[in-house]
Amino acid sequence: MVTAHINNERCEKALALYYRMQEKGFIPNAFIFSNALRACVNLRSLYHGNFVYSKILRFGVERDSVINNSLISMFFQCGSVNAAEKVFESQADRDVVTWTTMIGGYVQSGLSFQALQVLGEMQIVGIEPNRVTFLCTLKACSALGNLDLARLLHHSASKQWI
């Protein structure tokens, strides 16, 4: 039901149902939390996002990489870059999706230089970028007007997938 409300752009109702489930004693799982975070993003509600985050911490679900990626995305999209960074830093098992979520979040927040720094850190720890990573970093290069780096990234992506 929560997902159906979100898919039908009724995010207020989705969150109301999420809250009601908890009032009735239902313990949310990662799927429910991810959908609640999605509703918060659609509403651009950092208030509700922080409330959902507190419940994630309470139930110990923050160790789930899908939840962490959803949290990072939600915090960026609701304008809380510092909170997104804290979630990222606390995550021990970062995969390509986590790194790309950070890069994309920085780009969407107008912090393209930071996005490229994260790309560098990602490569240092041995995580290979995927196509989405390259798209995000090309956007960062464009925003910075860094044609040389954009060419280098394009060349690297071409060798990898073409």
Residue 86 is which amino acid?
K
pLDDT score, position 29: 86
pLDDT score, position 158: 67
Average pLDDT over residues 53-60: 88
pLDDT at 61 over 60: yes
Average pLDDT over residues 28-48: 92
pLDDT score, position 132: 92
Write the class of the CATH domain 1-93: mainly alpha
Better-predicted residue by pLDDT, 154 or 36: 36
Give tens-digit pLDDT for 116-156. 999 999 989 999 999 899 889 989 988 888 777 778 777 77
Give the number of C-alpha atoms closer than 13 A to the C-alpha of residue 122, restricted to the C-beta side. 24
pLDDT at 103 over 90: yes
How far apart CA 126 and CA 121 sit, in angstroms, is 9
Give the number of C-alpha atoms closer than 13 A to the C-alpha of residue 128, restricted to the C-beta side. 6
Burial class (CB in 10 A: 0-12, 13-18, 19+), 150: middle
When the pLDDT of each residue in the chain is averaged and rounded to a whole number, the result is: 90
How far apart CA 128 and CA 90 sit, in angstroms, is 21
Residues of the chain with pLDDT > 70, as a percent, come to 96
Better-predicted residue by pLDDT, 28 or 97: 97
Domain ranges of the chain: 1-93, 94-162
